[in-house]
Amino acid sequence: MEGPLALADLPRLCERLHAISTATGSDEVVCDVGAVTAIDARTVDALARLQLTARRLGCRIRLRGEPPALRDLLAFFGLSDAVPSVEPVGQPEQREHPRGVEERVEADDPPV
């Protein structure tokens, strides 16, 4: 889907989700949201409702290609875990921290 994601799109998207879930029997459906242009509360609401529909179908959706602004807005609404991404946020071995986590050093810690 391209352009803004609106609640009016939900019935069609839910039907498509149902068809994909039924046809594949998969418990996970990947939604590419890279072409979504309007990143706002309506977009987050639509994705959350789509995830609820997926749960009722016995599966879940994961997002692919989401712009950082969408990932940040999902985190702001506390929905990062409810509407997860396919791509990992960062790998611990690369010393990258998940968003919102910062490394802190205590003043009395000896250098390593």
59, 27 contact by CB (below 8 A): yes
What's the number of domains the chain is made of? 1
The pTM (predicted TM-score) of the whole model is 0.70
CATH code: domain of residue 34 = 3.30.750.24
Q: What is the pLDDT of residues 14-68, one digit of tens each?
A: 899 999 988 998 899 999 988 888 899 888 988 998 999 999 999 999 999 999 9
- Domain extent at residue 69: 7-86
pLDDT (0 to 100) of residue 10? 84
Amino acid at residue number 7: L
> What is the C-alpha separation between 38 and 24, in angstroms, rounded?
30
Residue 97 lies in a domain: no
Residue 42 lies in a domain: yes
> What is the C-alpha separation between 46 and 107, in angstroms, rounded?
46
> What is the C-alpha separation between 33 and 55, in angstroms, rounded?
19
pLDDT (0 to 100) of residue 7? 72
pLDDT band at 83, cuts 50/70/90? very high
User: Apex CA 87: angle with CA 72 and CA 76, to 5°?
Assistant: 15
